Amino acid sequence: METAEIARRFLAFFENNGHTVVPSASLVAEDPTLLLVNAGMVPFKPYFLGQRTPPYQRATSAQKCVRTIDIDEVGKTSRHASFFQMLGNFSFGDYFKEQAVPLAWRLLTDSTADGGFGFDPERLWVTVFHDDDEAETLWRERVGVPAARIQRRGMADNFWSMGVPGPCGPCSEIYYDRGPEYGADGGPVADENRYLEVWNLVFMQFERGAGGGKDDFPILGDLPKKNIDTGMGLERMAAILQGVDNIYETDTLGRVLHRAAELTGTRYGDDERSDVSLRVVADHMRTATMLVSDGVRPGNEKRGYVLRRILRRSVRNLRLLSGDDRALLHDLTATAIDAMADQYPSLRADADSIHGVIDAEEKNFADTLRSGTALFARAAEKTRAAGGTTFSGTDAFQLHDTYGFPIDLTLEMAGEQGLTVDEDAFRALMQQQKDTAKRDAKAKKLGNADIGVYARLLDGSGATEFLGYTDHEAESRVLGLIVDGADAAVARAGDRVEVVLDRTPFYAESGGQLADRGTLTADGRGTVDVDDVQKPIAGLFVHRGTVRSGEIAVDDRVHALIDTDRRASISRSHSATHLIHSALRNALGPSAGQAGSENRPGGLRFDFTANSGLTPAALGEVEEEVNTVLAGDIQVRDFQTTLDEALSMGALAMFGEKYGDRVRVVEMSDYSRELCGGTHVGATGQLGIVKLLGESSVGSGVRRVEAAVGLDAFRRLSKESLLVGRLSEQLKAPREELPERIDAMVARLRGAEKEIERLRAAQVLQAAAGLAEGAREHGGVRVVAHQAPDGTAGDDLRRLALDVRDRLGGDRPAVVAVAAVPKDRPVVVIAVNAPARDTGLKAGDLVGVAARALGGGGGGKPDVAQGGGTDPAAVPAALRSVEERVARGA
Ligand code: SER
């Protein structure tokens, strides 16, 4: 049975049993305690905790999940995978164990013709929590599982929580017996390889507090209601139903794995080491594809780092497999898209953008490997020069941090050179960095308040009504205040406060548009200066600010007034962003998808996916097109419609963004149509001018344009015009002749520099005859040791050394050593003629002698060699040491 069919069957079964089918949420978790969705129940957590009222009492889903905790195990075993899908049925205070147990049994054991999975009941075992008599009775009496195939287990195995404070409860698991060829008899407690867990039924009824491990945390109390949360791993089910040994051989992952083998000329099953690499690549490429399609971009922290890391591990393992450095990710991404598109059709539509991101990161990493390898070589050299065999943790960390070198790569490269790595120091530095990142992330994300405070306010008072599309001021009521992260009844002068209103004209930061600022005034009581507005949870507007005077209290009536100049300026920027988006797509094609933006007063930045930069000419065309549309003074219109309708009108949606069923479309005749919740001008003429300020890469296949809008654009242009005026005066040339004039000046300057160089070289060589004449004899070898004037270039030194050697002739042994300080570091060149070489004197050796005296290194061929050091004052001593060395004989 194909993976897609297993999911379809599961959902249909529960739909027929009164459950609402809920589409998979994005992998990017809304829950601030999680980076990525890691269980089917995550999107439903507020319902279990009673923080939100569920719109349905029974639900079923096939949820995309990513778990990165044991990412290092992926591939080493055939059980771990970083991406998986969890099928589940959920009851929010509706049914409990008495229905969950028989429903699960029916779906597993009903014949495939009847819509079930057709498991042989004799091969199923169950476990229950050690004191859960009720569950055991249900399995025995309602379902008919013999007591011999029911086992009891403790907290560590049969109690489920998210690993963090939140909902939890005892669970009951169903296992499938793969048969004696897979291990010992005795049920799941004896062998979890032979007895595979297929389904976990969690009886979610408690709330847990903080604590470590699977069983070391306090139970804080009962949840408001008893709930059901079940989870069946779709990949594992597919392995069983497809009769293959493990998840890597199923119809989805298996395709990526076999393609990786084909591309690298290896075969799965041939060799344990390459099998591990193939599994890593298959798993990681699928995970990366799914993450990118949910809007994650490679980066150096949080989700971006997860993505970067798995892409880099893929590249690395592919190189190990193939033994070369071909770029293979594009092909494997295409395979992953094909393998998953049956279940996630949008993958095909987004394929260009997904490829753009992954291709760029692969290229980026290839560059990284090149420069990181040079840094590695220097650090290894330093280690050896100091007589050590341990590569320092600091260097390993720098390689990791700056160049993205996975530690296993550093370990391997160090191993090849007979070095070990101080892994403890490396890990300590990693931990330090992680702790800092965690603290920062927490401080940033949660603002002051725990998400629960907001959830309670939203549930108590409902969503904030947004009036700001039409109104700039409103009479509102204070529904809640948060001071120092907790509910407060009143906030006083000087307090930082978060204010929740029933209705508001303030735009909350979203869709790249910055928040409004303004004031909330409670008549006769006090005023709050609002400096930021956020929606920490959908629907709830939180006005952040400082109480300027008096006080403000819950239930107060306030006059809410936004800064209208700021708003107007931001709206101009936002409309400009839509126009630039359309113009870029016209110039580059539809793959130039929006990847982020910021609309601020006076200007904007717009990020889009593209693999190469825009030429200045193309940028000029985009700018001209936008300004032509401004001059056309097109009306800007907005309307509500369904998502499907909007998409069929060609409205642009942001890649990786989540939308509800009803959406708002902002339209500028046929030129631009986008899904957008932001504020805009009435007609494009209001923008005045849009001036593009340049275009750059922000890494990973994403480019950025910045622009000034309206008066800001005008001021910039006017300033530049003044500047050009001044240059024209200074150079005494008409404006349009400035480029040629400057080119000519630069050319003259270059010519003059060359001439100076030539004269200096001639001066150096003039000394050659005198030097040759002054050669000293040391045991039959003529030696010239000379310090040239400071500033003599390395090339000139070389020329001088060769010239003096020529003058000394080839019939008797001669050695020439010349040194100088070209900039701030000394350089030495040694030339040795053939008869001297015959006596065993080598330029490479002698340069080593000199360079050591200079505090550096060097080497080269026997006839001529160059070296250098760090200590300019040591030049005379270095030359002396060469002479002494020659005097001692070869
Ligand atoms: N939450 C449980 C799990 O993830 C069951 O869905 O295993």
Does the CA dihedral 358-361-366-367 come out positive or negative? Answer: positive
**Is 64 within a domain?**
yes
Q: Where are the alpha helices (DSSP H) in 738-842?
A: 738-773, 794-808, 834-838
Calculate what percentage of the chain has a pLDDT beyond 70: 97
CATH number for the domain spanning 77: value is 3.30.930.10
CB 630 within 8 A of CB 668: no
Residue 789's H or E segment, with its range, is: none
CA of 200 to the centre of ligand 1 (A): 6
Ligand 1 pocket, mutate which of 160, 174, 232 (most atoms under 8 A from CB): 160
Return the number of other C-beta atoms located less than 10 Å from residue 109's C-beta. 17
Higher pLDDT, residue 75 or 43? 43
- Asked whether residue 675 carries a pLDDT value surpassing 50, the answer given is yes
Two structure tokens written together for 554: 């819950």
Both 526 and 627 in a single domain? no
Atom 2 of ligand 1, nearest CA residue: 231
Dist CA 696 CA 675 (whole Å): 26
**Does residue 233 have its Cβ closer than 6 Å to ligand 1?**
no
What pLDDT is recorded for position 697? 79
Measured in degrees and rounded to the nearest 5, phi and psi for residue 388 equal -95, 170
Q: What angle do CA 360, 362, 367 make, to 5 degrees?
A: 95
CA diameter of the chain: 113
| Same domain membership, residue 660 and residue 796 | no
- The highest-confidence range among 409-413, 574-578, 768-772, 855-859, by mean pLDDT, is 574-578
User: 610 with 679, same domain?
Assistant: yes
**CA 825: distance to chain centroid?**
41
Q: Ligand 1 within 6 A of 202 CB?
A: yes
Question: What is the rounded average pLDDT for all residues in the chain?
Answer: 90
Contacts of 39 (CB under 8 A, 6+ apart): 63, 65, 86, 162, 231
* Rounded Cα gap, residues 786 and 815, in angstroms: 11
Task: Compute the distance from residue 39 Cα to the ligand 1 centre, in Å.
Answer: 6
Residue 504 included in any domain:
yes
Residue 566's Cα: distance from chain center in Å? 32
Question: Whose CA is closest to 763, among 741, 788, 728, 736?
Answer: 788
β-bridge partners, 74:
77
For residue 608, the Cα-to-chain-centroid distance in whole angstroms is: 16
Ligand 1 centroid, distance to 123 Cα (angstroms) = 22
pLDDT of 370 above 80: no
Please determine, for residue 168, whether its predicted confidence score (pLDDT) is greater than 70.
Answer: yes
Instruction: Give CA–CA dist 641/469, Å, rounded.
Output: 17
Please work out whether the CB of residue 39 comes within 6 Å of at least one atom of ligand 1. Answer: yes
pLDDT attached to residue 451? 66
Q: Whose Cα sits closest to atom 6 in ligand 1?
A: 231
CA 539–ligand 1 middle distance (angstroms): 28
Q: Count CB-CB contacts under 10 A for residue 316.
A: 20
Q: When comparing pLDDT for 802 and 35, which is higher?
A: 802
Coil vs helix vs strand at 842? coil
CB atoms under 10 Å from CB of 743, counted, come to 10
Residues 145, 21, single domain; the answer is yes
The rounded Å distance from CA 245 to ligand 1 centre is 23
Task: Indicate if the pLDDT at residue 672 is higher than 60.
Answer: yes
Using the predicted structure, report yes or no on whether residue 213 has a pLDDT greater than 80: no
**What is the rounded average pLDDT of the residues 185-196?**
91
Other C-beta atoms closer than 10 Å to the C-beta of 451 total 18
- For residue 371, pLDDT beyond 50: yes
Ligand 1 touching residue 197 (CB < 6 A): no
Better pLDDT: 610 or 119: 119
Q: Compute, in angstroms, the gap from residue 204 CA to the centroid of ligand 1.
A: 10
Q: Alpha-carbon distance 877 to 817, whole Å?
A: 12
Ranking 59-68, 440-449, 626-635, 809-818 by mean pLDDT, the lowest is 440-449
Q: What are phi and psi of 195, to 5 degrees?
A: -95, 105
Please give the span between the terminal C-alpha atoms of the chain, in angstroms, as a whole number. Answer: 80
Q: Rounded mean pLDDT of 51-68?
A: 92
- Read off the amino acid at residue 681: V
Residue 162 CA to ligand 1 center (angstroms) comes to 8
Residue 610 has what pLDDT? 80
Distance (angstroms) between ligand 1 centre and the Cα of 61 equals 12
178 CA to centre of ligand 1 in angstroms: 22
Please report which confidence band the pLDDT of residue 769 belongs to, taking 50, 70 and 90 as the band edges: confident
Minimum mean pLDDT among 76-80, 759-763, 784-788: which range?
76-80
Domain harbouring 545, CATH code: 2.40.30.130
Asked if residue 322 is part of any domain, the answer here is yes
Q: Please tell me whether residues 548 and 574 are part of one structural domain.
A: no
Q: Whose CA is nearest to atom 5 of ligand 1?
A: 231
Higher pLDDT pick, 791 / 138: 138
Top-confidence range, 58-67, 370-379, 459-468, 762-771:
58-67
* Domain presence at residue 880: yes
Give 890's pLDDT tier (boundaries 50, 70, 90). low
Instruction: Assess whether pLDDT exceeds 90 at residue 387.
Output: no
Is there an atom of ligand 1 within 6 Å of 230 CB? yes
Residue 750, number of CB atoms within 10 A of its CB: 10
Phi, psi (deg, nearest 5) at residue 638:
-130, 150
Same domain for 50 and 145? yes
Q: List the single range of 262-266, 551-555, 606-610, 864-868 with lowest mean pLDDT.
A: 606-610
What CA–CA distance (Å, rounded) separates 173 from 100? 12
Within a 10 A sphere around the Cβ of 591, how many other Cβ atoms? 16
- Fill in the DSSP letter of residue 188: T
- Do 488 and 549 touch, CB atoms closer than 8 A? no
Residues 175/190, Cβ–Cβ less than 8 Å: no
Please count the structural domains in the chain: 5
0.75 surpassed by pTM: no
Cβ contact 808:836 at 8 Å: no
Angle between helices 351-385 and 393-403 (to 10 degrees): 160
Using alpha carbons only, how large is the chain's radius of gyration in Å?
36
Q: How far is CA 261 from the centre of its chain?
A: 27
Q: Of residues 505 and 431, which shows the higher confidence score?
A: 505
**Ligand 1 near 92 CB (within 6 A):** no
Can you give the pLDDT at residue 641? 93
Give the angle 786-792-796 at the CA atoms, nearest 5°: 85
Domain containing 882 — which CATH number? 3.10.310.40
**709 CA to middle of ligand 1, Å?**
51
**Is ligand 1 within 6 A of the CB of residue 160?**
yes
- Residue 495 belongs to what domain range? 443-562
Partners of 659 in beta bridges: none
- Check whether residue 48 and residue 172 sit in a common domain: yes
Dist. CA 33 → ligand 1 center (Å): 17
Tell me which of 213-222, 452-461, 495-504, 762-771 is least confident: 452-461
Residue nearest atom 3 in ligand 1 by C-alpha distance:
231
Which of 331-340, 581-590, 828-837 comes out lowest in average pLDDT?
Answer: 581-590
99 phi/psi in degrees, rounded to 5: -105, -35
The answer on pLDDT for 780 being more than 70 is yes
Is 748 a member of any domain? no
CB of residue 87 inside a 6 A radius of ligand 1:
no
CATH for 576: 3.30.980.10
Q: pLDDT tier at 700 (50, 70, 90 boundaries)?
A: low
- How far apart are the CA of 73 and the centre of ligand 1, in A? 20
pLDDT value at position 446? 41
Q: Are residues 94 and 229 in the same domain?
A: yes
**H/E stretch holding 180:** none
* pLDDT at residue 265 tops 90: yes
Q: Are 224 and 92 in contact (CB under 8 A)?
A: no
**Ligand 1 proximity of 203 Cβ (cutoff 6 Å):** no
pLDDT at site 438: 60
Q: How many CB atoms lie within 10 A of CB 599?
A: 27
Residue of 22, 89, 202, 234 best suited for mutating to test ligand 1, as the one with most atoms within 8 Å of CB? 202
Nearest atom within ligand 1 for CA of residue 88 = 6
Q: Residue 478: which pLDDT band, with cuts at 50, 70 and 90?
A: very high
Lowest mean pLDDT among 240-244, 446-450, 656-660, 861-865: 446-450
More confident residue, 630 or 889: 630
pLDDT at residue 449 in the model? 46
Q: Is the pLDDT of residue 139 over 90?
A: yes
Q: Is the pLDDT of residue 639 over 90?
A: yes
Q: Which residue has the higher pLDDT, 146 or 409?
A: 146
Tell me what pLDDT residue 448 has: 39
> What does the alpha-carbon distance between residue 132 and residue 171 come to, in Å, rounded to a whole number?
9
Q: Is the pLDDT of residue 401 over 80?
A: no
Whether residue 689 is found in the same domain as residue 669:
yes
Pairing of strands 219-233, 83-92: antiparallel
- Domain stop point among 539, 562, 585: 562
Statement: residue 365 has pLDDT above 50: yes
Distance 153 CA to ligand 1 centre (A): 17
Quote the CA–CA distance of 684 and 709 in Å, as a whole number. 12
Using alpha carbons, list the distances in angstroms from residue 253 to 275, 282, 309, 645. Answer: 14, 6, 19, 35
- Cα 156 to ligand 1 centroid, rounded to whole Å: 14
Q: What is the pLDDT of residue 447?
A: 44
Does residue 519 line the site of ligand 1, with CB under 6 A?
no
Q: Which of ligand 1's atoms lies nearest the C-alpha of 40?
A: 6
User: From the CB of residue 445, how many other CB atoms can be counted at a distance below 10 Å?
Assistant: 12
Q: Compute the distance from residue 41 Cα to the ligand 1 centre, in Å.
A: 7
pLDDT for 843 beyond 90? yes
Choose one of 562, 591, 614: the last residue of a domain. Answer: 562
Ligand 1 binding pocket mutation candidate from 84, 86, 208 (most atoms within 8 A of CB): 86
Clarify whether residues 472 and 539 are in a common domain. Answer: yes
Of 562, 578, 602, the domain-final residue: 562
Mutate to test the pocket of ligand 1, among 204, 229, 235, 237 (most ligand atoms within 8 A of CB): 229
Residue 271 lies in a domain: yes
Q: Is 41 in the pocket of ligand 1 (CB under 6 A)?
A: yes
Q: Is the CB of 43 under 6 A from ligand 1?
A: no
Distance CA 235, CA 52 (A): 31
Tell me the per-residue pLDDT of 314-335, one tens digit each, with 9 for 90 and over: 998 999 899 888 999 999 999 9
- Say if residue 144 is in the same domain as residue 11: yes
| 118 and 14 inside one domain | yes
pLDDT, tens digit, 9 for 90 and up, residues 406-465:
787 788 778 877 889 999 999 988 888 777 666 654 444 344 345 667 877 887 788 899
170 lines ligand 1 (CB under 6 A): no
Structure confidence at residue 442 (pLDDT)? 46
